[in-house]
A and B are shown apart, each in its own frame.
Chain A
Amino acid sequence: MNWNSWQEFLAMGGYGFYVWGSYGVTLVLIVIELAALAARGKAIERRSSRRQIN
């Protein structure tokens, strides 16, 4: 184990901004991509249920 405390882990030896900036933005972008795909599926569902009613 490399870390003695959470503070040490978050500090990343002084490079916290760079390391967490990389991991954080990656996570946010992946969440956005998943949400966009879910929204696209929902929109298709709405359109197809409208078609069936008409």
Chain B
Amino acid sequence: MVSVNRFSWFKYASPASFYPIAGKLLPWFATSAAVLTVIGLYIGLFVAPTDAQQGEAYRIIFIHVPAAWMSMFIYVVMAGYAALSLGFNARLSAMMASALAPTGALFTFIALWTGSLWGKPTWGTWWVWDARLTSELILLFLYIGFMALQAAIDDPRRADRAGGLLLLVGVVNIPIIYFSVQWWNTLHQGASVSLTAAPTMARTMLWGMLVMAIAFWMYSIAIALGRVRCIILEREAGREWLSEAEAATP
């Protein structure tokens, strides 16, 4: 027997039906991002104790580690959307990949910037060409390359295909970043959080970092939803559903 009311994912995968859904979801993610940022900053700046080795300089961790996680995670999500877009010719997936790119680049830059400001007082240098830092810099170039490539191609469908290919090829960089601290000798310390080992840092430090990570996550979703709405309007201008929607609202 075939179920009659089979839930259709494809129904929500069209730009026309996703546009209002994104608009409804956006305020929830934006509000959670704001609330979690306040909680995370409170824990990080007021509750978490001073680090025994690094003093107060370690408080950069509450921005640095969540931003570095997001820089890698957003790239993987974009590559997933690129695969969907190339495999199923799904327009919305390609739009989501484009919508995430500036935020991914932003978090990559923040990870590099805060890392540099953390490196100076703890390692004595702003920058070293070691595996972790160099592969993260390559990630920034991948984001910028993706955006430049899309901007350079006039036909949006061709821009999606070219950009998608770049994303899929560049995904090899992600495990290189993640495992670089194990594979090579590097100044950078090992993973801050491990699923298998007991936490090595104070519980409140860990909590501050996790709350900030979820806050950045909510922020990324909110801003990507807002940006994909702009992209939908820009690309679908002149199409029937949009003209009807525009005619309906004065």
Contact = CB atoms under 8 A, between A and B. Distances in A.
- Whether chain B is bound by chain A comes out as yes
Interface in B58-114: 59-60, 63-64, 67, 102-103, 106, 109-110, 113-114
B121 A15 contact: yes
Contact of A33 (B106, B114, B118): B106
Interface string A14-28: 110111011101100
Interface string A23-54: 10110011001101100110010011001100
In this complex, the member of B49, B56, B67, B219 whose beta carbon has the largest number of chain A beta carbons within 10 angstroms is B56
A6 interface: no
A22 B230 contact: no
Interface string B163-180: 000000000000000000
Contacts of B113: 22, 25-26
27 contacts: A2-B46, A2-B49, A3-B46, A9-B45, A12-B56, A12-B59, A13-B50, A13-B55, A13-B57, A14-B56, A15-B59, A18-B60, A18-B117, A19-B59, A21-B117, A22-B60, A22-B114, A25-B113, A26-B114, A29-B109, A29-B110, A30-B219, A37-B223, A44-B234, A47-B237, A48-B246, A52-B246
Interface of B: 45-46, 48-50, 55-57, 59-60, 63-64, 67, 102-103, 106, 109-110, 113-114, 117-118, 120-121, 219, 223, 226-227, 229-230, 233-234, 237, 246
A31 to B, nearest CB: 11
A48 B57 contact: no
A2 B219 CA distance: 28
A48 to B, nearest CB: 6
